[in-house]
Structure 1
Amino acid sequence: MKRILIVKVTSLGDIVQALPVIADIKRAFPGVQVDWAADEAFAEVVHWSQSVDRVLCAPLRRFKKARRWADFKAIAASIGDLRAYRYDFILDIQGVYKSAIIAFLARSSRRFGYQSKDLGERGAAFAYSGRFGPRPLGNAWQGMRISVGEVLGYQPEGPSIYDLKLPEADTAPFGTAEVGDAPVAALFHATSKDDKKWPVDHWAEVGNELVRRGFRIVLPWGSAGERAEAEAISAKVPGSAVLPQMSVTEIARMIDACALVIGTDTGFVHVAHALQKRTVMIFVATSPSHFGIEAPFRSISIGDGHSVPPVSEALRAIDYVHMDPATAGSAAHPAAAV
């Protein structure tokens, strides 16, 4: 086994949670080269991994939106990089048309993808010479590790290894916001869909409790609407700071400087988990058992995915991720914390 190509083109949280597949492969096959194909919009995230040997990217999302000639030329040029090597295996762990096209264009006789019922777009099946086994029950992230291991002939062992190293920067991690010496808690209130939001008053109640516990609260945002919501929460939490607009990598650096991250089911909360921060993920309209995070006494998911979790559940989760595992005892199991 010399070289493998992973195809996972989007999105932030999905790419971050797929990165442990690389550590599994390299543990099973020492010396193997692992390349990764991603949309240009998320290529910087893959570059955070110290285990990826080559990152291949093209502006697929941008071309779909704007249909610009320059983006089309960039996509065409990227095909040469994609075909520079012959791969022993190509593993499409995305399962949509654009990932299947990438898998088809790359050079290999062994292209694997999901079974038709597990594909995001069933037409993607044209690209594959083989299929992963039935999708494992439970967490999607562990399922990816299992599916790849079945194809390559090994069993993934132990917790997920993300192996991230963020680029260094001269700027302060919180931009122009003054946070002082207090531990910082970031509240990721923004979501991709309105039905995944947690109420502003709930965020304010949690924020005020954290202030009482000695934390400084910061509120990131990415759009005008998200900024307005951040300001609404900040107005109810004395001493909190609405952060300046930041790039993806700048937000990741900010997360790495935090003592606690609380957020809805969104990509940056997965980043916090991968960076081994104390993390609470709140589920309102998506499945915590399928998309959630969990690490003993460090990360936990709350909510049933069908209703709005109460503030009391979030506070119990915060207590849980701050427990000392040496003294917590059996009562501190996540099932007892939520």
Structure 2
Amino acid sequence: MKRILLIKITSLGDMVHTLPLVSDLRRAYPGAAIDWVADASCADIPSWTVGVDRVIAPPLRQFKKNGKQWKDLRGILRAVRELRREKYDVVVDVHGVYKSAIVARLARAPRRFGYAAEFLGEAKAVFAYTDIFGPHGDATCRHKMRLVVANALGYEIEPPEVCDLRVPAPATPLNTDGVPRAMLFHATSAEIKKWPQASWIQVGQALAARGYRVQLPWGSAREHEESQALAAAIPDAEVLPRMSITECAQRVDAAALVVGMDTGFVHLADALGKPTVMLFTATSCAHFGVQRPGQSVSIGDNGAPPSVDAVMAAIGQVTQSPAAATPPSVQAAGQASSGRVSA
């Protein structure tokens, strides 16, 4: 095997889910070149991944968002030319929608692997594949990718999930005052995924009492308002400026603790080895959650949001501090409002 094309187009969290597969491929084929096709909006993580030789990044989202402008179309055409510049031994599409299938079909390769129609995001995308991945059973999204590709290409996977990532260093060192930062990723892509503001405030107050400085990132005007409201109730909390993916990743890499919803940057925190607590309210914890003993834990589930007490206990697990360290004032506030989100 001399050259492999990996296709995972979007989004940020899915980029992180794909990292263990890259490590598997690099271990199985140490002499092969591995190229990764990802949308330009998500290409940062593939470009930081150890073992990826080339990232091909068409601006697909930008083309759609900007009203299909000519400059974006030129970017897509450049990416197609770059794609077809090389011959691949195999194409591995672990995305499974029309856009990824089209990329697979355009690639110069004798074998193109993809999921069976019933497992695809868009069933008719199956037209692009010469070979179909075998069954994957009931597995996490990360292990599913590892399993089907290993079975298809004929190598064995090793149990640990390895995420070999190198985030570029910031121009100016962060958090040099010696105060540990706790980043709270309270924002989500949909209202149904949110955790109550009052619960975030209780967690933020408890962390501030433990000596953390709470940092609140945001990505939209509404999220900025929500961050400001949280900061007003959490001592010494900091609303971060608007950041690029790289700038936010650098903040995550410098943090002492990351707590947040099932979102891309919280998955990134786990991949970077940060103490991480991931909250689930409307997605599957078993399928998307992170669990690394002593480092990361996922709590809650689809239709069963976690309580404040459960979040604080999880923070204790990943920071090696007892859950009982929650300040009495916060405990009392939690008891007054039941301290729990109703499942």
TM-score per shorter chain, which class?
A: over 0.9
Q: Is the 8 A contact 1:40 1:59 kept in 2?
A: yes
Q: Distance in 2 between matches of 1:254 and 1:69?
A: 35
Question: What is residue 143 of structure 2 aligned with on the other side?
Answer: 142
Question: What is residue 237 of structure 2 aligned with on the other side?
Answer: 240
Q: Is the 8 A contact 1:118 1:135 kept in 2?
A: no
Q: Distance in 2 between matches of 1:159 and 1:225?
A: 39
Cα deviation, 1:297-323, whole Å, max 9, x if unaligned, reads: 100100022132110110111111123
Cα deviation, 1:89-108, whole Å, max 9, x if unaligned, reads: 10000000000000000001
* Matches for 1:100-139 after TM superposition, within 5 Å: 100-139=101-140
Query: Residue 311 of structure 2 aligns to which amino acid in structure 1?
Result: A
* Matches for 1:277-316 after TM superposition, within 5 Å: 277-316=274-313
Cα deviation, 1:94-145, whole Å, max 9, x if unaligned, reads: 0000000000000011000001110000111010000111233121111111
Q: Is the 8 A contact 1:136 1:146 kept in 2?
A: no
TM-score by length of 2: 0.91
Q: Does 1:72 align with 2:73?
A: yes
Question: What is residue 334 of structure 1 aligned with on the other side?
Answer: none
Question: What is residue 189 of structure 2 aligned with on the other side?
Answer: 192
- Structure 1's unaligned 5+ residue stretches are 325-338
Question: What is residue 321 of structure 1 aligned with on the other side?
Answer: 318
Which 4+ runs in 1 deviate beyond 3 A? 171-174
**How far is the alpha carbon of 1:221 from its aligned partner?**
0.5
Q: Distance in 1 between matches of 2:283 and 2:26?
A: 32
Cα deviation, 1:141-160, whole Å, max 9, x if unaligned, reads: 11111111111111211321
Question: What is residue 26 of structure 1 aligned with on the other side?
Answer: 26
Q: Distance in 1 between matches of 2:24 and 2:50?
A: 14
* Matches for 1:44-55 after TM superposition, within 5 Å: 44-55=44-55
Q: Is the 8 A contact 1:261 1:280 kept in 2?
A: yes
* Matches for 1:136-285 after TM superposition, within 5 Å: 136-173=137-174, 180-285=177-282
SS in 1 for 2:21: helix
Q: Distance in 2 between matches of 1:182 and 1:33?
A: 42
Question: What is residue 15 of structure 2 aligned with on the other side?
Answer: 15
* Matches for 1:29-44 after TM superposition, within 5 Å: 29-44=29-44
**How far is the alpha carbon of 1:51 from its aligned partner?**
1.1
Question: What is residue 63 of structure 1 aligned with on the other side?
Answer: 63
Cα deviation, 1:214-245, whole Å, max 9, x if unaligned, reads: 11111011111001010111111111111111
Question: What is residue 336 of structure 1 aligned with on the other side?
Answer: none
**How far is the alpha carbon of 1:76 from its aligned partner?**
1.4
Q: Distance in 2 between matches of 1:226 and 1:60?
A: 25
Q: Is the 8 A contact 1:139 1:290 kept in 2?
A: yes
Cα deviation, 1:162-212, whole Å, max 9, x if unaligned, reads: 1111112313547xxxx8422110000010111111111100100111111
Q: Does 1:3 align with 2:3?
A: yes
Question: What is residue 339 of structure 2 aligned with on the other side?
Answer: none
SS in 2 for 1:235: helix
Q: Distance in 2 between matches of 1:270 and 1:54?
A: 23
Q: Distance in 1 between matches of 2:119 and 2:39?
A: 21
* Higher mean C-alpha deviation, range 184-193 or range 75-84: 75-84
Question: What is residue 93 of structure 1 aligned with on the other side?
Answer: 94
- Structure 2's unaligned 5+ residue stretches are 322-343
SS in 2 for 1:120: coil
Corresponding pairs, count: 320
**How far is the alpha carbon of 1:29 from its aligned partner?**
1.7
Q: Distance in 1 between matches of 2:25 and 2:50?
A: 14
Query: Structure 1 residues 180, 200: CA separation in 2 closer, same or farther (over 3 Å shift)?
Result: farther
Question: What is residue 326 of structure 2 aligned with on the other side?
Answer: none
Q: Distance in 2 between matches of 1:148 and 1:235?
A: 48
